[in-house]
Amino acid sequence: MTGSAHVKPVLQVLVVDDEPLARARLQTLLADCSNPRALALAQAGNAVQAMEALQHQQFDAVLLDIHMPGTDGLTLARNLAALPRRPAVIFVTAHAEHAVDAFELEAVDYLTKPVRLERLQLALQKVQRQALVQAPVPAPEVQDVLIIQDRNRTERVPLAEVLYFKAELKYITVRTRTRNYILDGSLGELEHKYGERFMRVHRNALIARHAARALQKHHDPEEGEGWALRLDGVDDLVFVSRRQLSAVREMLAG
């Protein structure tokens, strides 16, 4: 049985009973409910009217009489299983002998007439709890991680924490706010895999786009005078090649 996708501040209820006075009383009781709040969004005097209402509107619950002319409440409850979003069913009847049948149909509750406000609220609280339990649980966000072997240990470094990759000799330095790691691989592979997050600023460096803060004049022992990029969270400067300078400026301006 599927319930509401989430718990609503006001439960929307369909009242189904062949007796107008019974429908009116349930509507009044619903208006008096405060824990949870509820609203008789529509009424139906028989199963045909109920199915028409259910085809045009979504309800959190149906207050359903069992003894009705034509299709009875038990049969209607079975038919509700075909709906894409089946509302919770609360049977309301003057006869207690159908309780077993009602719960076999996965009814949330079974109320006998005359219905008391306190008892109705308890039934609606069950509807809320059921909706909360059956609400789809968001899938955990898949976090990209780097698997790094470090001194016979395996480190899992979240990619979101990496500020830059720098190629040095045969290895790549992986820099986070707190420490450096050594990764065996190539910048080309990293750029191909994570190009949306990291930008090539030099033949030996990729920087995290989100960490870029400012360009400043810088003297590099190998490159000479030029520009370097300051990153958020570290004092390190990453030298920017002349070829990539305009692209870096465009990124910072954006």
Confidence of residue 85 (pLDDT cuts 50, 70, 90): confident
- The two tokens of residue 48 are 């045909």
Instruction: Specify burial of residue 9 (Cβ count, 10 A radius: 0-12, 13-18, 19+).
Output: exposed
| Domain extent listing, the chain | 10-134, 145-253
Query: What pLDDT is recorded for position 27?
Result: 95
Topology of the domain comprising 10-134:
Rossmann fold (3.40.50)
- What's the CATH number of domain 145-253, 3.30.499.10, 3.40.50.970, 2.40.50.1020, 3.40.640.10? 2.40.50.1020
Q: Using one digit for the tens of pLDDT, what is the confidence trace for 161-219?
A: 999 999 988 899 999 999 999 998 889 999 999 999 999 999 999 999 999 999 999 88
Q: What's this model's pTM, rounded to 2 decimal places? A: 0.51
Residues 6+ apart with CB under 8 A from 123: 90, 108, 109, 111
The alpha helices in 65-173, defined as continuous H runs, are 73-79, 99-104, 117-134
Query: What pLDDT is recorded for position 2?
Result: 42
Q: Using one digit for the tens of pLDDT, what is the confidence trace for 10-63?
A: 999 999 999 999 999 999 999 999 989 999 999 999 999 999 999 889 999 999
Greater model confidence, 254 or 2: 254
Average pLDDT in the chain: 87
CB-CB contact of 9 with 34 (8 Å):
no
Q: Using one digit for the tens of pLDDT, what is the confidence trace for 37-48?
A: 999 999 999 999
> b or e along 207-223 (b: 16 or more beta carbons within 10 Å of the residue's beta carbon)?
bbeebbeebeebeeeee
Q: Which residue has the tokens 């420490």?
A: 179
